[in-house]
Copies of this chain bind each other. A is one copy, B any other.
């Protein structure tokens, strides 16, 4: 099966109108994505889909980066790629000229992720399996062969990774059965706590979430500690002392500010503080963690690659590893970080929300449970109930759990009607009747 074309679309949803997704740093987001379709010459018309989540403006930049990789993808067969997944990944992530723009970070890495994820989607569809099952069925050696150990082998060798995966082979079927019986993988909700919502709306949504079966809830903080405390008190009251409350500062604080703020907010018993400072600051996270114990430190949605995750673990700087399916360079690099987390005994609780992130990460956490960590203890996947209606096989959460996906692929294929309507700037949602959202 040969890849004959790579199609890229700039898709944007005008979420800034209702301030869904608003936080201390991203006060007015338009949830968006650069969306890739890898077309093949297969008789069945199989195509692989992938996307990288963006925040509105600049989606066209990621789209341009994806197009820059086209000559390194089109013309390959799926068999060429799957026979040397590591080599394929490195041919993108370390492309001799394009790597100058990163390397392995930011726009160029978001582009890599969209393409790499589309390839995995294609592979899973060709095998007729949901992605988590394709991954769980691969031999340990095949999984290891998909990972680029460059820059992480001082913390995790190929042999350690292989041994860990081999050890976890036993019990796989039982764990999968158990997950099905329990109704899926545990989820928490962020939908109540956006910073742009009124206090009334927050209380109503928090109550509704608790009634819908969510035991864990996350709120945004970081604009003004008094306002944060007022909102935290309202949510804590709504969910009761037994509910689990997480807080998310979205990088707004410096290191010392984070410590000061969390000394005020600790009285609401937060289970974790997420992104207390710059995602680039490994040593800063380590210091914050030491100073605010026992509040746990979570980060990851902006951690640019496996090298920074490695250091956060080496430096005892993180309690919760929040991988992002397209901030990291796609499935291959996610595998590396899942294995690092297992070695360092750090729970992985993926970042989701946005557009398509819930669809993606359900596969990653199920695979992590089945074949890598072997436990769901202290592990929970973010759920944000927005924009799922645009996907052919949307993620489904019921009773506070992600149900196991059943359709072949990575669940990321969008409906043609949604693509048409929300393509920027030509789609009808962005037509002349709607002002362009630029402040």
Interface residues of A (CB under 8 A from B): 25-30, 53-58, 60-62, 64-65, 68, 71, 94-110, 149-154, 251, 254-256, 277-284, 287, 302, 304-305, 307-308, 310-311, 314-315, 438-439
Q: Bound state CA distance, A94 and B311, in angstroms?
A: 25
What are the 9 closest A-B residue pairs judged by CB atoms, nearest first? Answer: A106-B106, A55-B100, A107-B107, A56-B97, A154-B255, A57-B97, A280-B307, A151-B278, A64-B64
- 28 example contacts (A-B, Cβ-Cβ < 8 A) are as follows A25-B94, A25-B96, A26-B96, A26-B97, A26-B100, A29-B97, A53-B100, A55-B96, A55-B98, A55-B100, A55-B101, A57-B97, A58-B68, A61-B68, A61-B108, A101-B110, A102-B106, A103-B302, A106-B107, A107-B107, A151-B278, A151-B284, A154-B256, A280-B304, A281-B310, A282-B282, A283-B314, A283-B315
- Known A-B contacts A25-B96, A60-B68, A68-B60; the reply to A54 vs B307 at CB < 8 A is no
Q: Bound state CA distance, A287 and B154, in angstroms?
A: 10
Query: Which of B99, B150, B280 meets A308, CB within 8 Å?
Result: B280
This chain's copy number in the assembly: 2
Q: Bound state CA distance, A29 and B95, in angstroms?
A: 11
What residue in chain B is nearest A307 (Cβ atoms)? B280
Q: Bound state CA distance, A103 and B153, in angstroms?
A: 27
Q: Which residues of B contact A27 (CB under 8 A)?
A: 96
- Known A-B contacts A281-B151, A305-B280; the reply to A62 vs B101 at CB < 8 A is yes
In contact, B282 and A311 (Cβ under 8 angstroms): yes
Q: Bound state CA distance, A283 and B282, in angstroms?
A: 9
In contact, A54 and B101 (Cβ under 8 angstroms): yes
A118 to chain B, nearest CB (A): 19
In contact, A281 and B307 (Cβ under 8 angstroms): yes
A53 to chain B, nearest CB (A): 8
Q: Which residues of B contact A110 (CB under 8 A)?
A: 101
Q: Which residues of B contact A105 (CB under 8 A)?
A: 105-106, 280, 304
Q: Bound state CA distance, A100 and B279, in angstroms?
A: 12
Q: Bound state CA distance, A154 and B282, in angstroms?
A: 13
Q: Bound state CA distance, A95 and B27, in angstroms?
A: 10
A289 to chain B, nearest CB (A): 14
In contact, B107 and A61 (Cβ under 8 angstroms): yes
Tell me which of A57, A107, A304, A310 has the highest count of chain B C-beta atoms within 10 A of its own C-beta. A107
